[in-house]
Amino acid sequence: MTSGKTYRFGDFVLRPATREFLRKGAAIAVPVRLFDCLAYLIEHRSRAVGRDELGAAVWGRSDVSEAQLTQTILRARRLLNEGSGDASCIRTIPKFGYHWVCDVAVEIADESPRAPIAPVPVPARDDDAPQTVPRPRRPRWIVAAAACAMALAAAAAWFYVRPLPPPAPAPEATEAAIVVLPLDVAPDGDAAWVRLGAMDVVAERLRAAGLKVPASEDTLALMRASGARPADVLRGSGAAWLVSGRAGRSARGWRVDLKAANAAGFDYAASEEADEVLPALRAATDALMRQLGLKSVPSSDADLALEETVRRAQAAMLANDFPTAQRILTQAPSRVSERPELRYQIAVLAFRAGRLDDAETGWRDLLDDESVARASPLRARAHYGLGAIAMMRDRADDAERSFGAALTLLEGRDNLLEYGKALGGRGGARLTLGRVQEGMDDLARARVVLEQSGDRLALARLNVAYGIASLARDRPREAVPVLADAIADLEPFGAVNERAHAYSAQVNAGLALLDYAQASQANEAARALLPLIGDPLNRAETLLDRATLLLAQGRLDEADPVLAELDALDLAPYAGLDGRRLELRARRAWDRGDVQAVPALATAAVDRLAPVDAETAADMVLLRQRALLALDRRDAAQTALDTLPSALQAPPGGRAPLGLRLAQAELQAARGDLKAAEWEFAAAAAVVDAGDVPAQTLRLTASRVPVLLAQGQRDAASALVGRLPEAADADFDGALVRVRLYHALGRVQPWADALRRARALAGQRTIPAALTVPPVP
């Protein structure tokens, strides 16, 4: 892939180097594999590309399933449907593969192949109004959790202590990522650290030459998940080259042998000796780079005692041997014990060991030290660590400031991996604060930067956060392919907690799209991970999703043991999780017909959810009101609506959550103020129309149609039902609203068909008795 090329066709522009795809000048967020598929077909447009070849280029393997490949091509064609001027830019070659056939104009830029870090816009909303009250079905804490998971892994992986010279441009042949494996080390108790410690030494010099090298922790995770099979490590990382080697004592001091090999069978080797192991490692790496046609960077005058101390501690941390790392760092020679680089590592160790107070104190002391004032990379990492701690402690405003400070220090330094992770951290903080568009902008930029860095695990983690954020913007269709790609990229690394978050997001995307099959499949995959999930919050999330699905399908008896398991968990410290548990209890009582129990349960849920999840809290306001009206307690319903928590009261010009709008409309209709009810329904319709969520369209229709029918506005009711998305036919409420409409219209046969459908979808829910009586034609 030639990094300086720009491809133009129709209204589209594709730039491989910066991972940009534009339509009529506007940037479009494109999933990783979809982008790679388009780029590969365009770059090889002079010929047809076989399916195996395309699979190897995009997925890193030739055994990609026919369904997976076909689905990606279908998504590519849909993406190109408008503006290309040709509906068949990608032509299917029967029994072989695909061929790009549209005209393409190629521009070659004069700039360096290393792309600058620049803002990348995400697709604009259909409306320009500010989102004062977030409207996700997903609670904001879940967005924060996904972004925080990425932040924690990143902070733990920032080990290296000294800045390297700016990267030299890598030749085109070596643009793909390269993975560095642990070295084989001859038995030597004092040198055992070299096995893992050498990984970062070699990786840093390769990065300085312009290569994409995954973090050592990512490589070790791949090795654990794949049984250390080199071919699986290559596939999982998406890399093209693998560096392995050995180190041992020699007559001169130390000898290091390195080899770089790729899947095609090409390999290069280099060996060097030196008095100490670190100079031998650097010399061997430089010799290997010369074999690859790369220019090495000058070595700095590093303090070998300091560097070896840090590398030994890093090796222990990579092995999760925190006591040994602690001993190495605290027993360092006195002349290096006060060096900022060592103090930074002590804070990293405290962070990884869960001693957040010690880590925070260590990083703040570094930032207050005047001697570190000019050490921008070290200060940036300290700010980043403080941002990660702030996210863990639910201080999103502090996190935003810390990540912002890190970004300022990293700007223009070509630290793509660090810059991308800091952008992702700030994006997660902004989403948690309810500043959805700013958060999405940061995440979109971070995706582009991390794609350039070659760190597939970091990108996959960020894509989970991006997919969840798309749900927060009421864009579930946009979230689905992003989450699917993220899960596929996370799987080779193990990454159990991150996958559980992604599966939960898929469940909620399926519910938003009224696609219960997709939601159930994702939840089953998450439940299969339960024995491996160490995070109790992830376990609770998976159980909550399970209970939500069962209740949505009317499987009330099956939901009861899941709810009982949730009741047994200590969720009191977590308002979002505990509020969802109470929400499900209220819904279960309503579906069972226990209307008397609903108001108290719903009120408890509102109190817990209002500060953290306005949308779900508003849904509970609506359910509580319906229960109070069913109990003929209209005054109590009005009082409850007049005394909402401040978090649910939208400021002037702001948007109230959908559930709150519907509650206000239904109460006004019950009071006979039809003009006020219609105004609220119109406001609710504006909320629904601003997004792309079939479930919200159905909720609005199911709420408004009974009011219209009571007023005799049958044509208006028919128009609403006629505009329901096709997916509503698979939902009980969708079937029930049709029963209600056909009953009012006196259409016997359509009513009977709809009633059969509703009964098939009801599960253990009850259909109102009046609707089961045949209508009068």
pLDDT digits (tens, 9 = 90+) for 650-673: 654 457 889 999 999 999 999 999
Q: How far apart are CA 20 and CA 13, in angstroms?
A: 8
| Rg (the chain; Cα; Å) | 29
Please compute the mean of the pLDDT values over residues 50-75 and round it to a whole number: 75
- Is pLDDT at 237 greater than 60 in this prediction? yes
**pLDDT interval class at 32 (50, 70, 90):** confident
Higher-pLDDT residue of 328, 618: 618
**pLDDT(130) > 50:** no
What Å distances lie between residue 154 and 150, 418, 747, CA to CA?
Answer: 6, 8, 62
The pLDDT of residue 417 is above 90: no
Residues written for the chain? 777
Q: Highest-confidence range of 24-28, 89-93, 522-526, by mean pLDDT?
A: 522-526
Among 241-255, 410-424, 591-605, the range scoring the smallest mean pLDDT is: 410-424
Confidence band, pLDDT 50/70/90 cuts, at residue 67: low
Q: Residue 327, class by beta-carbon neighbours within 10 Å (0-12 exposed, 13-18 middle, 19+ buried)?
A: middle
pLDDT for residue 666: 95
- The whole-number pLDDT of residue 123 equals 31
pLDDT tier at 746 (50, 70, 90 boundaries)? very high
Q: Is 383 helix (H, G, I), strand (E, B) or coil?
A: helix
Q: How confident is the model at residue 62 (pLDDT cuts 50, 70, 90)?
A: low
pLDDT at 191: 74
Q: 571-677 has which CATH code?
A: 1.25.40
- The residue type of 294 is L
Whole-number Å distance between alpha carbons of 203 and 188: 23
pLDDT bracket for residue 61 (50, 70, 90): low
For the cut 50, the answer to whether the pLDDT of residue 113 exceeds it is no
Helix (H), strand (E) at residue 267: strand 267-274
* Whether residue 503 has pLDDT greater than 80: yes
Q: What is the pLDDT of residue 124?
A: 33
Most confidently predicted of 308-322, 421-435, 703-717: 703-717
> How much is the average pLDDT of 615-620?
93
Question: What phi and psi values does residue 274 have, to the nearest 5 degrees?
Answer: -160, 170
Residue percentage of the chain with pLDDT more than 70: 86
pLDDT at 85: 45
Residue 245 token pair: 């080697």
Q: What is the DSSP string of 21-38?
A: EEETTEE----HHHHHHH
Does residue 299 carry a pLDDT above 80?
Answer: no
For β-strands 241-249 and 184-185, DSSP reports them as parallel
> pTM higher than 0.85 for the full model?
no
Domain 166-297: assigned CATH number? 3.40.50.10070
Q: What is the pLDDT of residue 120?
A: 29
Q: What is the Cα–Cα distance from 214 to 458, expressed in whole angstroms?
A: 9
**pLDDT at residue 131 above 80?**
no
pLDDT 10s digits, 685-724: 988 988 889 999 999 999 999 999 999 999 999 999 999 9
pLDDT over 70 at 118, yes or no = no
Residue 116 has pLDDT above 90, yes or no: no
At residue 495, does pLDDT exceed 90? Answer: no
pLDDT computed for residue 192 by the predictor = 79
Cα separation, 34 vs 58, in Å, equals 8
pLDDT category at 300 given cuts 50, 70, 90 is low
Task: Tell me what the mean pLDDT of segment 152-159 comes to.
Answer: 45
- Residue of higher predicted confidence among 86 and 272: 272
Residue 372 has pLDDT above 50, yes or no: yes
Q: How confident is the model at residue 227 (pLDDT cuts 50, 70, 90)?
A: confident
Confidence of residue 392 (pLDDT cuts 50, 70, 90): confident
Please state, for a pLDDT cut of 90, what percent of the chain lies above it.
Answer: 34
Looking from the CA of 618 toward its CB, the CA atoms found within 13 Å total 25
- Per 3-state DSSP, the chain is made up of helix, strand and coil in percentages (nearest 5) of 65, 10, 30
pLDDT value at residue 215? 81
CATH of 5-108, one of 3.30.230.80, 3.30.930.10, 3.40.1410.10, 1.10.10.10: 1.10.10.10
Question: Residue range 588-606: average pLDDT?
Answer: 96
pLDDT of residue 519: 94
Q: What is the pLDDT of residues 447-485, one digit of tens each?
A: 888 877 777 888 888 888 888 888 888 889 989 998 998
Cα distances from 511 to residues 276, 506, 520, 529, 696, in angstroms, run 60, 9, 9, 21, 10
Predicted local confidence at residue 87, as pLDDT: 57
Residue 189's pLDDT band (cuts 50, 70, 90): low
Work out the pLDDT band at 413, boundaries 50, 70, 90.
Answer: low
Confidence of residue 521 (pLDDT cuts 50, 70, 90): very high
Q: Are 429 and 398 in contact (CB under 8 A)?
A: no
Choose the weakest-confidence range: 313-327, 564-578, 633-647: 313-327
Which of 649, 671, 652 is closest to 661 using CA atoms? 649
Average of per-residue pLDDT across 318-323: 75
Q: Is residue 514 over pLDDT 70?
A: yes
* pLDDT classification of 301: cutoffs 50, 70, 90: low
Q: Compute the average pLDDT of residues 530-557.
A: 89
Mean pLDDT of the chain: 82
User: Do the strands 267-274 and 97-100 form a parallel or antiparallel pair, or are they unpaired?
Assistant: unpaired
Give the Cα separation of 148 and 390 in Å (integer).
9
- pLDDT for residue 516 is more than 90: yes
CA pair distance 283, 296, nearest whole angstrom:
10
What pLDDT band is residue 172 in, cutting at 50, 70 and 90?
Answer: very low
Is pLDDT of 744 > 90?
yes
Segment 185-207 shows an average pLDDT of: 80
pLDDT confidence of 112, banded at 50, 70, 90? very low
Q: What confidence score (pLDDT) does residue 140 get? A: 44
The Cα–Cα gap between 670 and 689 comes to: 25
